[in-house]
């Protein structure tokens, strides 16, 4: 067995364990909290017997450990229960909302990486130049600003004052009458502001790391050596400097994906978008227990997958990690 796959298997096992811990934590947290989800279906003052019947149906009267083992058993078979709000399978509800969030985060992530690499490379060309200085103060600004404030400011400027983009939702009211290309343009129109909002803070963070790394690598002796050997500036940049500087960025990107998931939570509320974030908040606020657990499971799996992917890519870039000499 190769060392890469060994590392991978070790990672997967520990990730599964962490997922299990998170789910257990959330499960018991919900069950010990005050409040009764059966009240949504039937008022207890109406008929106590009926309320008990609903509780029995939802298996809320069983002892806690039996509920937990029953839940684990069905979860292993891919059944997360029925959502109280939607009266549908939790997995199918999540499948309705998940694609949007993945698309949203994915698009924003690609933009973040491209923009931050582009800006950092431009800035490092002239350290302490005008571009470098403006960018470093701008990134500080956007790094500090909370996402929901940036989002609302963008809404105020571009949606209210300039009237360029719609202010909320994902579809226009005449969406059904549009042809295929117009539909895509409509989606894009609605998504531009949220994507910018999500990207700004992350671009600021990535840019800062990448710029400092690039500067460090440029000052290393091997770059001087390459210059002395007459290698062109472009080759030095793309073949030698960027691959060396990008490594820490991958780790951060893996971690940041989790934070981005938290960010989408609020951005989806600000812009009224139908994604996992709003689904989660609605589920929490309406005590839809199976859906809450489903959402946290999804979030955990997404984050762990992202971290795993970051680890694999990092190993591809830096073979020293395999021998453990850097740990």
Gap between the Cα atoms of 219 and 202, Å rounded = 26
Question: Contact between 307 and other proteins (CB under 8 A)?
Answer: yes
Residue 307 token pair: 């971290």
Q: Which of residues 275-304 bind other proteins (CB under 8 A)?
A: 280-281, 284-285, 287, 292, 296, 299-300, 303-304
Q: Does 18 bind other proteins (CB under 8 A)?
A: yes
10 Å Cβ neighbour count for 200?
22
Stretch that binds other proteins, among 24-32, 75-83, 124-132, 188-196 (CB under 8 A): 24-32
Give Dmax (Cα) for the chain.
88
CA 151 to chain centre: 17
Radius of gyration of the chain (CA): 24
Q: Is 253 in the site for other proteins (CB under 8 A)?
A: no
Contact between 167 and other proteins per CB under 8 A: yes
Q: Which is nearer to other proteins, 244 or 288 (CB)?
A: 288
Task: Please tell me whether residue 26 binds other proteins under the rule CB under 8 A.
Answer: yes
Helix 276-285 and helix 289-317: axis angle, to 10°? 140
Choose, by CB under 8 A, the member of 95, 164, 224, 255 that binds other proteins: 255
- Round to whole Å and give the CA distance between 83 and 88: 6
Under rule CB under 8 A, how many of the chain's residues touch other proteins? Answer: 46
The answer to whether 186 touches 178, Cβ cutoff 8 Å, is yes
Output the smallest distance, CB 2 to other proteins, in A.
25
Choose among 240, 241, 298, 221: nearest CA to 265: 298
Cα atoms in the Cβ-side hemisphere of radius 13 Å centred on 169: 7
| Interface region with other proteins, contact rule CB under 8 A, candidates 87-95, 99-107, 115-123, 147-155 | 147-155
SS3 87: coil
Nearer of residues 90 and 299 to other proteins, judged by Cβ: 299
Enumerate binding residues for other proteins (CB under 8 A): 14, 18, 21-22, 26, 29-30, 33-35, 140-141, 143-146, 148-149, 152-153, 155-156, 159-160, 167, 255, 258-259, 261-262, 265-266, 269-270, 280-281, 284-285, 287, 292, 296, 299-300, 303-304, 307
């Amino acid at each position: 067995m190769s060392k890469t796959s060994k590392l991978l298997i070790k990672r997967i096992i520990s990730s599964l364990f962490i997922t299990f811990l998170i789910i257990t934590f959330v499960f018991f947290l919900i069950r010990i909290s005050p409040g009764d989800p059966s009240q949504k279906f039937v008022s207890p003052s109406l008929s106590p017997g009926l309320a008990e019947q609903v509780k029995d149906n939802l298996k809320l009267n069983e002892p806690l450990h039996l509920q937990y083992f029953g839940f684990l058993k069905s979860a292993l078979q891919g059944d997360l229960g029925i959502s109280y709000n939607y009266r549908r399978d939790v997995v199918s509800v999540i499948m309705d909302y998940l694609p949007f969030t993945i698309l949203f985060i994915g698009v924003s992530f690609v933009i973040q990486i491209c923009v931050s690499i582009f800006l950092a490379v431009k800035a490092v060309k002239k350290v302490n130049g005008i571009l470098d200085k403006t960018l470093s103060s701008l990134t500080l600004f956007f790094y500090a600003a909370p996402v929901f404030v940036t989002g609302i400011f963008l809404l105020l400027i571009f949606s209210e004052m300039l009237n360029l983009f719609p202010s909320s939702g994902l579809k226009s009211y005449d969406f059904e009458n549009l042809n295929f290309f117009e539909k895509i343009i409509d989606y894009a129109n609605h998504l531009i502001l949220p994507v910018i909002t999500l990207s700004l803070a992350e671009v600021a963070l990535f840019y800062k790391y990448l710029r400092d790394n690039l500067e460090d690598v440029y000052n290393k002796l091997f770059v001087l050596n390459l210059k002395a050997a007459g290698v062109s500036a472009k080759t030095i940049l793309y073949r030698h400097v960027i691959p060396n500087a990008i490594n820490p960025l991958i780790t951060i990107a893996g971690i940041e994906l989790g934070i981005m998931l938290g960010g989408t939570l609020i951005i989806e509320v600000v812009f009224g978008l139908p994604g996992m974030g709003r689904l989660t908040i609605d589920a929490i606020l309406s005590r839809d227990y199976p859906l809450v657990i489903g959402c946290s499971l999804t979030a955990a799996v997404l984050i762990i997958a992202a971290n795993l992917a970051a680890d694999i890519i990092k190993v591809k870039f830096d073979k020293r990690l395999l021998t453990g000499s850097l740990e």
